[in-house]
Amino acid sequence: MAGKKQATGNGAKMIPIYIMGKKYEVPETLTILTAMEYAGYRHIRGCGCRGGICGACATVYRLSGEYGLKFGLACQTVVAPDMYLAQIPFVPANKAIYDIEKLTPDINSIGRVYPDLYRCLACNTCSKACPMGISVMDYVQALLKGDIAGCARLSHSCTMCGICALRCPAELQQFHMAMLARRLYGRYLQPRARHLEKRVKQIKEGKFDPMMDEIMSLNNHELKQRYARREWEPESYENPDWRPEETKYLVLD
Ligand code: SF4
Ligand code: SF4
Ligand code: FES
């Protein structure tokens, strides 16, 4: 059911869908998100990036003749005939407050902040519901083993849509736990990026101030032109000796 968001397109076949119980005829080429807008809905909540990244558009639906509930991102799921839709503007889930500086990167921290972790039944319902195809149960199990790096890696493409939590019979907040794991990994376990530290130091020293001053002085049109004309840096393996043609503000290490 996942597919690319498409334009309405002249001559697209019209199909019936049901939004909150009301029937609408919409072009079959639309995603759930654009079909709802076509039907007259205006998204104030439940819509963000429109590109499958932010997770704001989690949607529950049923298909005609099928018993089971289905889940998807509205901006990535193409409508189908007789689709019954209910959007979830947010998923209520316990989000713990913690100070990352006072935590250690191990199971004790995660278990203290999210004790619900130990309730996991290993039923795999969460993985089946995830619209990003993430093995949610595997990252939860990695956490249970204290494998913070494994959880961070397995949950990397999580959009925080919350559908896994919605489906979990043990009422875990998997996505918040995984976020904590990624934060702990980034704060304590990941090797430091020395080049980034060097760049931040250069920024603090004001080495980029003249460039920023010039950019801030441009109007909208000039900014757009500058953006359109920008040089593209190639992948480093393609040309390790690459240097930009525009060197006015180039800051070398
Ligand atoms: S749905 Fe809940 S209980 Fe089942 S595997 Fe996932 S986290 Fe564990
Ligand atoms: S892991 Fe959960 S919150 Fe993250 S994308 Fe999958 S279903 Fe959504
Ligand atoms: S609007 Fe951001 S994932 Fe759909």
pLDDT of residue 20: 86
pLDDT of residue 9: 54
Backbone angles phi, psi at 71, to 5 degrees: -135, 145
pLDDT in tens, 79-103: 999 999 987 777 778 889 999 999 9
pLDDT of residue 1: 43
Distance 178 CA to ligand 1 centre (A): 13
CA distance 219 to 128: 49
pLDDT in tens, 230-246: 988 888 777 888 888 88
Q: Which string of DSSP letters, residue by residue, matches 19-60?
A: ETTEEEEEETTSBHHHHHHHTT---SSS-S-SSSSS-TTEEE
CA 82 to chain centre: 28
172 contacts: CB under 8 Å, gap ≥ 6: 114, 116, 117, 119, 120, 126, 140, 165
- Count Cα neighbours of 121 within 13 Å in the Cβ-side half-sphere: 9
What residue owns the CA closest to ligand 1's atom 4?
Answer: 123
Distance 232 CA to ligand 2 centre (A): 33
Task: For a ligand 3 pocket test, name from 4, 45, 75, 163 the mutation site with the most ligand atoms within 8 angstroms of its C-beta.
Answer: 75
48 contacts: CB under 8 Å, gap ≥ 6: 54, 55, 56, 57
Handedness of CA 35, 40, 41, 43 (dihedral sign): positive
What residue owns the CA closest to ligand 3's atom 3?
Answer: 52
Ligand 3 contact via 132 beta carbon (within 6 Å): no
pLDDT of residue 45: 83
CA distance 85 to 68: 13
Q: Is 15 helix (H, G, I), strand (E, B) or coil?
A: strand
pLDDT per 10-residue tile (average), the chain, 253 residues: 49 91 95 95 89 90 89 94 85 89 92 94 95 96 96 96 93 96 95 90 94 95 94 82 87 78
pLDDT of residue 199: 93
CA distances from 140 to 173, 179, 238 (A): 10, 12, 38
Q: Are strands 14-19 and 22-27 parallel, antiparallel or unpaired?
A: antiparallel
pLDDT of residue 200: 94
Identify the helix (H) or strand (E) that includes residue 61: strand 58-62
- Count Cα neighbours of 80 within 13 Å in the Cβ-side half-sphere: 15
pLDDT of residue 112: 93
Q: Long-range CB contacts (< 8 A, 24+ apart) of 6-14? A: 6/30, 6/31, 6/34, 6/78, 8/34, 8/38
pLDDT of residue 5: 43
